[in-house]
Structure 1
């Protein structure tokens, strides 16, 4: 089935226009929020359409949005919080692939909407990746916010992402590892053992760190041959099974 283009809306914030998708929940059902990863858009994501279809089948709500171009994790987290405050009501279940896991943790730990969040599902979580990327920038440009770093990427049509160093520097205010957190909901992490973008060891370390800073259980499901995207039918079946457990 997938998401109908008629569900796409726009939200203007200053000079930015953000696109979001909303489907209202049935009575007593939560809204599943899909938080895309870096340089990812909801309407182009098979996982997003899959999660939307699951929400519809369970009479749950759905909310997803695209991050503004050229911002930072600090800005994208702020945008997400404002969108959820403005356009959703009731309990929320956050589903965050890659960078979306990082933003989900920030929303659950440091945002006004945290009281409405029931659970987090992180898929190939790329938490604090900007700090790792900063170490790949040529040393002489690491403190130059105007420098544009061309990071090689198999996901970009041109072969690289053009990343302003200010994106990496501004994201430092949002680093999770080593920072105080107040996570009060269960966290479910799904990670591919063949993930070459975010090594599975990072997911193990994140689980350990969250267990030290959370009053709820942290789960980690490792998929033996899974890559970073976890977009195969069998991967999405794992995602669905966890979301269904949360909804039941």
Structure 2
């Protein structure tokens, strides 16, 4: 496992782990309240290292080992954090692997990093969830609470309640990606489980429909949940990465 290193990012001191190797660099972008010590991130790092492939995982500000306060962050901050680490640590082509919110972050980075991006793998990708998930699902009372008091809390099936802040909602509106075509002129693979209770199939299909790619494929896995971390799921992620890279599975 690569050692954790740190750099001064745009919002806080940021933690990351980089494994050198051949490119494109596989960049794992984790989800909302998740971090680079999650099952998928650590598994894919070991998998990449065994194949001599460059790999980067990182913690956004307010997540994991990075500085900052989670409740003070937002999508724009976390995308800027990821971009800062990528630009400071890596060179050459990139394959972005985005899990849940990381799929939204990756979608933003495909626009900001331009020609450096050589492929995208989305795992239960959750673009625009602050607007189409949180805000759309709020009652009028919850909407009033978050806008007037600055925060409300939602239950989570995967840990502590989610803190949803007014800043998160308002910044999310500035970073929506499902309101216009998403040009991705390279291979794209989208993976999701049918048992995902956090990201709907409608979101998955909306992302599929908005991505403009010459090689776009979607896989919906019967029974898999939002974590998408069972052994068979991890093998599918590996296969998707190899497929995007045009590399043999063996």
TM-score (norm 1): 0.88
1:157-208 deviation per Cα after TM superposition (whole angstroms, max 9, x unaligned): 4xx1222221121111110111353322221100111111111232122111
Counterpart in the other structure of 2:125: 125
Structure 2 counterpart of 1:24, from 15, 20, 24: 20
TM-score (norm 2): 0.87
Counterpart in the other structure of 1:206: 207
Whole-angstrom CA distance in 1 between matches of 2:214 and 2:85: 26
Counterpart in the other structure of 2:67: none
1:215 Cα deviation (Å)? 4.0
Whole-angstrom CA distance in 2 between matches of 1:49 and 1:243: 15
Instruction: Tell me the matched-pair count.
Output: 233
1:83 Cα deviation (Å)? 1.4
RMSD: 1.6
Counterpart in the other structure of 2:34: 40
1:79 Cα deviation (Å)? 1.4
Structure 1 counterpart of 2:93, from 88, 91, 94: 91
1:97 Cα deviation (Å)? 0.6
Structure 1 residue runs of 5 or longer lacking an equivalent are none
Whole-angstrom CA distance in 1 between matches of 2:11 and 2:144: 32
1:30-61 deviation per Cα after TM superposition (whole angstroms, max 9, x unaligned): 21100000000111x11111111121122110
Whole-angstrom CA distance in 2 between matches of 1:88 and 1:115: 14
Structure 2 counterpart of 1:232, from 223, 230, 242: 230
Residue 143 and residue 180 in structure 1: after superposition, are their counterparts in 2 closer, same or farther (change >3 A)? farther
1:135 Cα deviation (Å)? 3.0
Is residue 105–residue 183 contact of structure 1 (8 Å, CA) maintained in 2?
no
Counterpart in the other structure of 2:82: 80
Partner SS state of residue 6, structure 2: strand
Is residue 124–residue 198 contact of structure 1 (8 Å, CA) maintained in 2?
yes
Is residue 73–residue 171 contact of structure 1 (8 Å, CA) maintained in 2?
yes
Partner SS state of residue 147, structure 2: coil
Structure 1 counterpart of 2:156, from 153, 156, 161: 153
Structure 2 residue runs of 5 or longer lacking an equivalent are 63-71
Stretch of structure 1 that moved more, 223-232 or 172-181: 172-181
Is residue 34–residue 94 contact of structure 1 (8 Å, CA) maintained in 2?
yes
Partner SS state of residue 182, structure 2: coil
